[in-house]
Amino acid sequence: MKENTLLKIALICALAGLIVLYFISAKIEYKEYKPNILNKNIGEDAKLKGTITKITGSGDVVFIEVVQQNPVTVVLFTKDENLGLKNGDDIEVLGKVQEYKGKNEIIAQKIRKIK
């Protein structure tokens, strides 16, 4: 085959692959985190909405206490010291539920403010 034909086939396959990945990523959903079923959520991706009551930092790790029904600790690994978050902000956290010293916490992958 000619190089031109191979290039066209490669471009068509790449574009088709990107379109398929877009539709697959649109179907991915996070489960709503419910503190009353704590042990069933360990290791799963979860979405948490709540209000910040406490923010503490230690190096590259920020601990955010969020109140939904019960207080939940959110751990964020970041190098950015100015997150723009403060007590009383309503946020949505996407992350993974983990257990640390007998308590559940969410390791944040993404945090956004809710207006």
pLDDT (tens digit per residue) in 61-90: 888 888 877 788 888 887 766 677 888 888
DSSP per-residue codes, 40-98: GGTTSEEEEEEEEEEEEEETTEEEEEEESSSEEEEEEE-S-S-----TT-EEEEEEEEE
Report pLDDT for 30: 67
Range of the domain at 46: 31-113
> Quick check: 98 and 107 in contact, CB under 8 A?
yes
Asked if residue 24 belongs to a domain, the reply is no
Q: Which of 3, 28, 18, 113 is nearest to 66 (CA)?
A: 113
CATH number of the domain within which 48 lies: 2.40.50.140
Question: Which residue is associated with the tokens 């007590």?
Answer: 87
Asked if residue 1 belongs to a domain, the reply is no
**Each residue of 27-55: pLDDT tens digit?**
777 666 666 554 566 777 888 888 889 88
Report pLDDT for 33: 65
pTM equals: 0.63
